[in-house]
Chains A and B, each alone.
Chain A
Amino acid sequence: MVGYILRRLLLLVPVLLGLSMLVFAIARLLPGDPVALAAGPNATAADVASVAREFGLDQPLVVQYWNYLTGLFRGDWGVSIFTRRPVAEDLAAYLPATLELVLAAMLLAIGLGIPLGLMAAVFRNKWPDFLARTVSLGAISMPRFFLGLVFQLLFAMWLGWLPLSGRFPLTEDPPPQITGMLTVDALLSGQFHAFGVALSYLALPAIAMCLSPLATIMRMMRASTIEVLQQDYVLTERALGLSQKLILFKYVLKNAISATLTVIGLYFGWLLGGTVLVETVFDWPGIGLYATQAVLTQDFMPIIGVTLCIGAIFVTVNLVVDMLYGLLNPKVRYQ
C-alpha cells in the first residue's frame, strides 16, 4: 500500500508538468493580444513593446515557459498584467473562500446523497423512488446560476431571511485567520457568533451549488446499490438468514459506496470549475470570480495560475479517492 501511494505521488509530477505545459500553450497560442490590451487603447507601439519587455513577453515561448516553470518552484506564479499584483498572493487570498464553498457543498451532497440513494434503491420502483429520480433529474438540470438568482429573490429579497451576497459583513469583526475558511476559523477560535454570521452567508451559495452533485451522487448510489442487491452473495446472505438491516447497512453499503466514490472524485473537480458561476451570482470573493475577471481582460497569468491550482487540487482529490477505493476493495489493496 505504501509503495502504491508513493508510485501514485510520483506519477503526479508528470501530470502536473503536462498540465502546466498544456495550459500555458492554450493561453499563449490562441489569438488575442493581452499586451496591447494592458497597455491601453491609446498606447503607441513603443508603449506596447515596453509592457511586453516588462513581463518578459518578448522572449521566445519556450524561454517564457521555462521562466514560468522555474518561478513556480520559487513561489513566483507570475504577475497579473492588469492589476500588477503577484498571482500567488491573489490565489492565497481567494482560494480559501472557494475551498470553503466547495467543501460545504460537497459535504451536503455526500451527506444527503448517499442515504437518499440507498433509500431509493430499497424502495425501487415504488413512489419514493420515482419521486427521488424525477426530482434528482430536475436538480441536475437546474442551472446553478439561475438557482442562485431564485434563492436570492426568495430568501434574501422577498423573505429577507439570509444575506443577499458577499462573504462576511464589513460591520462585523471577522474571526482570526487560521485556515482562511471563515466558518472553520470561527469554530477553531470559538467565536460562535461569527460562525453564525459566516454560515448565513455561506448557506445560499453552498445549497445552490450542492444540488446537482447531490442528485448525481444519489442516482449513482441508487444504481450501484441496486446492482449490488442483485449479486449472488446477497442471495447467499439472505438464504443464511442474515437480517435485512445487517445485509443492507453492512454488506451492501460497503460495496455500493466504492462505485459511488469515483463519481465523488470527478465531481469535486467539476465543482471547482463550476464555482465561477455561483461566485458571480453571490459575489463570493473566490478564485472563480478572480478567473472570470482575468478571462474578461485576457490576463493570462492569473488564468494559468487558477487552472493549475484547480488541476492540482483535482488530481490530489482523486488520489485520495483512489486510496479510499483501495481501502474498501481488498482486491485492489493487495495487488
Chain B
Amino acid sequence: MNPPSLDTDTLLEIDDLNLAMRSFEGEIQVLNGVSFAVKRGEIWGIVGETGSGKSLTGLTVSRLVPTPPGRYLRGSVRFQGQDVLKQSEETMRTLRGRRIGMIFQDPTTNLNPTFRIGTQLVDVALHAAKLDPTILGLPAGASRRARRAAAEKVAIARLEEVGIPNAAERVNDYPHQFSGGMKQRVLIAMALIGRPDLLIADEPTTALDVSVQAQILRLIHGLVEEHNLGVLFITHNLGVVAQLCTHVAVMYAGAIVESGPVRDVLKHPRHDYTRGLLASVPKPSMKRGELRGLAGGALAAEALAPPPPRAAPGGTIMAIEHVVKEFPGARRGFFDRAPPVQALRDVSLNIRQGESFGLVGESGSGKTTLTRCILQLEKITSGRIVYDGIDLAAQTPQQMQALRARIQIVFQDPYASLNPRMTIRDIIAEPMEIHHGKLGLTPRQRTDRAAELLEQVGLTTQHLNRFPHEFSGGQRQRIGIARALAPKPDFLILDEPTSALDVSVQAQVLNLLHDLQSRLGLTYFFISHDLGVIRYICDRVALIHHGKLVEQGETEDVFTNPRSDYAKMLLAAMPDPDPDLSPLRRREAVLL
C-alpha cells in the first residue's frame, strides 16, 4: 500500500506478506498480501476478529511463527531496512528484546511462575546489554558481577517507570504476588528494558478489567511519547484503537481491507467490512434493535420482520433483599481459619416483570456469586431472594425443582457450557426431560420442540443430530439460549452471554435476545462488564463493586448522570470507538 521509502524514521515496512500454515486439512494461506509501514512515534492499531491473522502479523515481525507448520510464500518484513525473513536466527536474537520489544495478552501466563520477577528482568537486560553496553551504563569490559548489579538497578528503575510502587523490594517477589494489572506492568518493563525502537503489543489489555485497561493504555501512551517508539498494537477492540492509536489497519481473512490515520478510518470508513465492524459496536445513540451484525465480511441485511413492541414492565418479579454471602476463610494450620470472605454485602435490588435489568461489575465483584445464589447453587448467608412472591431459600428441594423451570441461565463461555458428548437434540431436550412433570412431553414431542427452538434462535433442524464441536462460538451461544428457553421460563439470567464472542457475532446475539424478549415477554437479568452492551440492552442497571451495590437506577440516568465515584470512574475508563469521545483523547483535549 505504502510505496517503499527511504525515510529514516520508518521502523518497520511490511510489504506484500504472504504466509501459509500447514495442518491436517492441507496448507491454508493465513496472510494474504499484508502491507503497511510504521514510523517512530506512530501507534498502529491492527484490528480484526478471531482468525483474521492479526496476531500472526505481529509474530512475523520478530519471526516467531514456527516454520514448519508456517511457510512464507512472498513478501518482505523490513525492520530498519533489513528483511527479517532473510536473517539468521542469531541475527534475529540481536533484534528481539533489544530493538523489538513484545507484550502478549494474558499477563498471568506470560511471566515464568517459578522465578522472581527481578531474575527475569535482569536476564533480559543482560541480553540487551551484550549488544549495547550503554543500557547498563557500564564500560564494555565490566566484570560479571558489576554487570549483574547494574542490570538489577536498571530493572528497578524500569519497574518504577511503569508504576510499580516499592520496586526495589518487589524485584524479589514472584509473579503470583502481583495483581493482573501489575503483572502486565512488569511485562511492559521487561519489553522496554532493552530500550527497543519498536514495541509489539498483542491484545495487552484484553484479559484486564476496564479500569485497569485504562491505566495500562495511559502507561503505554506515555512511554511512547517519552521514548519516541513505534508501536504495533494488536486488538479486537475498536474502542481501544480509537483511544490510543494514531493509525489503524483493519484485517479480515488474512488481508488488510483498509488502513490509514485513525480518524480517517474510524470516522469515514470506506470498506464495507470496516463499516460493518463499526456498526456492530453498541453506541449510546443506538436504540434497541438498531444494531447490525456482519455476514460474510459485509454488513448484514436488516431483520425482515421487526419484533412486536415490548410490553411495558410489570410489577416486581425478583426481589433480592439484603443478601449477604460469606465464604469460609482459607485454612491456616489445623484449627485456625482466616476470617470469612464477604462476596456479597447487603445486596438489594428489584427486577420488574418483562424488563432487562443490567448488573455491571469487574472481575471479583461478586456478580457471578449473585447468579449462583439466585439459582440456589449456593446458600446465602443472610437476606432473602424472593421470586414471584416465593422465598427461594425456604423451599423444599421438590418445590425448588419445579421453580427451576421458570428461572434459566445462559453462560458466558459457549465452548464450555455444552456437554461435548451429547447431540444438540439431547442438549436442548434435557431440561424438558428434567421438567417432565411440568411440560409432560413425549420423547417425540421433545424432538419437535427442540427443532422449533432451534429455528427460533436462527439455526435449522438439520443441526439436531450434530455435536457441539461442529459449531462456531456464536452458534453455540444460540444453542445455549435455545436450551434455556426449552422449559418455558419467564426469568432468564444472562451471565456475560456475549463476552467470549467477536463483536459482529455479539451484535447478532444481542439482536436475537432483543427479538426473543419482545416475542416471549421474558425478564432478563443481564450481567456484563461491558458498559456499551449494558447501555444498549438494559432498561435499568445496577453497579456492583467488591460485593456491594454502589449505584442503581434507570440506565440512561446512570450513564449520563452517574452519582457514585465508582460509576464515574468506570464511565471515564470506557473506551469509545469514536476517537473524539475516548478518554485519553478527551484528556488531551482538556490539556490543549
Contact = CB atoms under 8 A, between A and B. Distances in A.
Contacts of A328: 114
Interface string B102-146: 111010011111110000100110011000000000000000000
Nearest to B331: A335
Contacts, number: 81
Centre residue among B114, B115, B190 by max chain A CB count within 10 A? B114
A144 to B, nearest CB: 35
Interface in A26-47: none
B127 A240 contact: yes
Interface stretch (A58-66, A111-119, A241-249): A241-249
Interface in A320-334: 328-331, 334
A241 B104 contact: no
A235 interface: yes
Centre residue among B101, B120, B123, B191 by max chain A CB count within 10 A? B123
A233 interface: yes
Contact of B124 (A7, A232, A240, A330): A240
Contact of B102 (A231, A240, A246, A258): A240
Question: Main SS of the interface on chain B?
Answer: mixed
Interface in B424-475: none
B64 interface: yes
A234 to B, nearest CB: 8
B101 A240 contact: yes
Contact of A243 (B93, B95, B101): B93
Interface string A210-254: 000000000000000000000111011111111100100011001
Interface residues of A, number: 25
A280 interface: no
Nearest to A251: B112
A232 B106 contact: yes
B476 interface: no
Contact of A232 (B62, B110, B194): B110
Given A3-B333, A232-B104, A241-B93, A246 B123 contact: yes
B333 A239 contact: no
Nearest to A257: B114
A74 B98 CA distance: 68
Contacts of B123: 242, 246, 250
Nearest to A234: B112
Contacts of B104: 232, 235-236, 239
A316 interface: no
Contact of A330 (B106, B127, B174, B187): B174
A34 B111 CA distance: 62
Given A237-B120, A255-B114, A330-B176, 11 more contacts: A232-B104, A232-B106, A232-B110, A233-B113, A235-B110, A239-B62, A254-B114, A328-B114, A329-B114, A334-B174, A334-B176
16 contacts: A7-B333, A232-B110, A235-B104, A238-B96, A239-B102, A240-B96, A242-B123, A246-B123, A251-B112, A251-B115, A254-B114, A255-B112, A328-B114, A329-B114, A330-B174, A331-B176
Interface of B: 62, 64, 93-98, 101-104, 106, 109-115, 120, 123-124, 127-128, 174, 176-177, 187, 190-191, 194, 333-334
The 9 closest A-B pairs by CB, nearest first: A241-B97, A241-B96, A240-B97, A239-B102, A330-B174, A232-B109, A233-B112, A236-B110, A232-B110
Interface of A: 3, 7, 231-233, 235-243, 246, 250-251, 254-255, 258, 328-331, 334
